[in-house]
């Protein structure tokens, strides 16, 4: 019997969860628990970490997981690495549902950096108005440049380690008109973003292009080799092929 562990937290993960539920597939949806009110899913849901590679491997065995789909955020690198190692240890088939990375278009003014530290270094020394569109996990690093005024768009309210910060509580997807208005109302001069890909957060890049604003774009972290699908349909084909091979 097929039992799928879906590591989620993205729009694509939610779309796959709906497809699995509609087809009556045995599956459980796992959230990392980084937001206070995660989106409700049509599958049985667990929230929280597994306890590293060993904990994830134990969960796979204890819950008779036959397939793992990693549909986490492209920057949830540790979870993705753990999934590769745990599936290798347990002999469990793994596929990643991964959004294509964003590509620069005519009119874009992007500076690519390798990590958060690179993004901090790429900001100017003189005071600027920075739209820091990276979530809440890596804000501490930007405290080394307290001269800037930071605009933060977060899912959950809470304290931040930046002395000059304005917080907007909102959950995507966002649109270009709204993002342009947001940037203009805060006189934004620079945008810092992670190259997450997808459509839900792309509006800020289009808005930056329209407003001729520079973007500091953090490249995705390197991950171990793994099978990757670019769509829900590809994942479903893979699951069906796996079931045929197993004689299910």
CATH of the domain at 238: 3.40.50.720
My answer on whether 53 and 140 are in the same domain is no
Is 114 part of a structural domain of the chain? yes
My answer on whether 129 and 175 are in the same domain is yes
pLDDT of residue 32: 85
Tokens 């203009």, residue located:
184
pLDDT of residue 156: 87
Is 105 part of a structural domain of the chain? no
What is the number of alpha carbons within 13 Å of residue 12 lying toward its C-beta?
Answer: 25
**C-alpha span between 127 and 40 (Å, rounded):** 41
Is 58 part of a structural domain of the chain? yes
**C-alpha span between 28 and 48 (Å, rounded):** 13
Is 20 part of a structural domain of the chain? yes
My answer on whether 115 and 187 are in the same domain is yes
Give every residue of the chain whose pLDDT is below 70, as ranges.
243-248
pLDDT of residue 242: 81
My answer on whether 119 and 94 are in the same domain is no
**C-alpha span between 100 and 113 (Å, rounded):** 18
Q: Estimate to the nearest angstrom the gap between the alpha carbon of 184 and the chain centroid.
A: 26
Is 151 part of a structural domain of the chain? yes
My answer on whether 132 and 71 are in the same domain is no
My answer on whether 211 and 228 are in the same domain is no
My answer on whether 116 and 195 are in the same domain is yes
Is this prediction's pTM over 0.85? yes
- Domain interval for residue 147: 110-218
My answer on whether 114 and 214 are in the same domain is yes
Number of domains in the chain: 2
Beta strands in 71-211 (DSSP E): 94-97, 110-113, 129-133, 149-154, 165-169, 190-194
My answer on whether 114 and 80 are in the same domain is no
Token digits of residue 48: 């929280």
My answer on whether 151 and 94 are in the same domain is no
My answer on whether 8 and 84 are in the same domain is yes
My answer on whether 120 and 213 are in the same domain is yes
Query: pLDDT tens across 156-211, in order?
Result: 888 999 999 999 999 888 999 999 999 999 999 999 999 999 887 899 999 999 99
């Amino acid at each position: 019997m097929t039992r799928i562990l879906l590591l989620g937290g993205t729009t694509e993960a939610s779309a796959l969860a709906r497809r699995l539920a509609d087809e009556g597939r045995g599956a459980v949806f796992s959230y990392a628990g980084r937001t206070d009110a995660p989106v409700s899913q049509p599958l049985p849901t667990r929230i929280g970490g597994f306890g590293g590679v060993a904990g994830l491997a134990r969960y796979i065995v204890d819950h008779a997981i036959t397939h793992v789909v990693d549909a986490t955020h492209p920057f949830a690198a540790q979870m993705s690495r753990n999934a590769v190692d745990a599936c290798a240890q347990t002999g469990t088939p793994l596929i990643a549902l991964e959004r294509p990375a964003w590509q620069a278009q005519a009119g874009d003014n992007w500076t690519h950096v390798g990590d958060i530290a690179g993004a901090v270094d790429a900001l100017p020394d003189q005071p600027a108005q920075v739209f820091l569109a990276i979530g809440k996990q890596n804000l501490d690093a930007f405290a080394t440049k307290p001269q800037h005024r930071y605009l933060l768009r977060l899912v959950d309210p809470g304290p931040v380690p930046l002395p000059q910060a304005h917080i907007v509580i909102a959950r995507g997807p966002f649109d270009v008109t709204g993002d342009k208005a947001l940037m203009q109302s805060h006189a934004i001069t620079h945008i810092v973003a992670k190259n997450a890909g997808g459509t839900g957060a792309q509006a800020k890049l289009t808005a930056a292009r329209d407003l001729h604003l520079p973007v500091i774009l953090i490249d995705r972290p390197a991950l171990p080799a793994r099978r990757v699908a670019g769509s829900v349909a590809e994942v479903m084909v893979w699951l069906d092929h796996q079931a045929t091979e197993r004689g299910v």
